Amino acid sequence: MTRTIAIVNQKGGVGKTTTAVNLAAGIALAEKPTLLIDMDPQANATMSVGLRPEELERTVYDGLISPRDLAKAVQKTPIGHLSILPANADLLAAEVKLVSDKKRALRLRSALEALSPQFSHIIIDCPPSLGILTVNAICASDSIIIPLQCEYYSLEGLSRTLDAIRVFRETLGLHIKVEGLLLSMMDSRTKLSSEVAAEVRAHFAAKVFSTVIPRNVRVAEAPGHGKPVILYDVGSRGSQAFLSLTEEFLTSEGKEKTWSRA
């Protein structure tokens, strides 16, 4: 059975794309057929696996407009068992094109029905907003992962994201779970990072992944080389953290995390 997970936070710069790319690559390295979907017009996930957005003939945009074309946009990546539904700037037009469609929030979900059985996991990278692209990603997913940068403003983005999930559950009748909260860009040398991490764990307890993603220069360098960091420099602290996250994620599959608020 295919599991679809969206990487969501309406705040930018919290590590959504880095998480999506490296989690998808990690699952693929475990020899599980994995699809990475780039739902961000900036196409950073697309570039992070070595594709050039301006050279693409078909993208996820084509699948949103014409669901029968979705499978034609899937591309293999240099990573065994990892495919991608890439994006480019065409995706900016999606909100305008879909505005008159009463079921516009479910376009991706419907389009994936025929495609998803080919994969054990689908990981969706979302833009930093709660517009129609992110809504489509959430509605197509079984659960979401919310990366949180270890700073105080990240808690505001978390609150808004959780409120949006509740609205989708109530209005669309979808059973979307929060897979977990991921502490990212952790700088253990600063008191602020430690305080924010402690506060998040105190309020959400078992919903927070044990793995923490540190600030690491190799993580920042990897996209420029068109590779996930776990392939760019497997021995780096950032790479080891994402491999640990992948192991934690795969180990916890089927185990329900529960909210525990202090």
Q: What is the pLDDT of residues 98-110, one digit of tens each?
A: 888 888 989 999 9
Which band of pLDDT confidence, cut at 50, 70 and 90, is reported for residue 31? very high
Query: In the chain, what are the helix, strand and coil shares in percent, each to the nearest 5?
Result: 50, 15, 35
Closest alpha carbon to 36 in 122, 117, 95:
122
pTM here?
A: 0.93
Rounded to whole angstroms, how far apart are CA atoms 122 and 119? 7
Rounded to whole angstroms, how far apart are CA atoms 169 and 177? 9
Query: What would the 3-class secondary structure string for 65-95 be?
Result: HCHHHCHHHCEECCCCCEEEECCCHHHHHHH
Q: Where are the domains of the chain?
A: 3-252
Residues of 32-42 as b/e, b for ≥16 C-beta within 10 angstroms?
A: ebbbbbbbbbb
- Give the right CATH number for 3-252 from 3.40.50.300, 3.30.590.10, 3.40.50.720, 3.60.15.10: 3.40.50.300
- Position 200 scores a pLDDT of 86
Rounded to whole angstroms, how far apart are CA atoms 231 and 242? 11
Among 21-35, 92-106, 127-141, the least confident range? 92-106
Mean local confidence (pLDDT), 63-76: 92
The mean pLDDT of the chain is 89
Backbone angles phi, psi at 226, to 5 degrees: 65, 35
- Position 39 scores a pLDDT of 97
Three-state SS at 13 = coil
Rounded to whole angstroms, how far apart are CA atoms 142 and 191? 35
Alpha helices in 113-152 (DSSP H): 132-139
Mean local confidence (pLDDT), 5-17: 90
- Position 255 scores a pLDDT of 58
Rounded to whole angstroms, how far apart are CA atoms 169 and 178? 12
Which band of pLDDT confidence, cut at 50, 70 and 90, is reported for residue 259? very low
Residue 262: pLDDT over 50: no
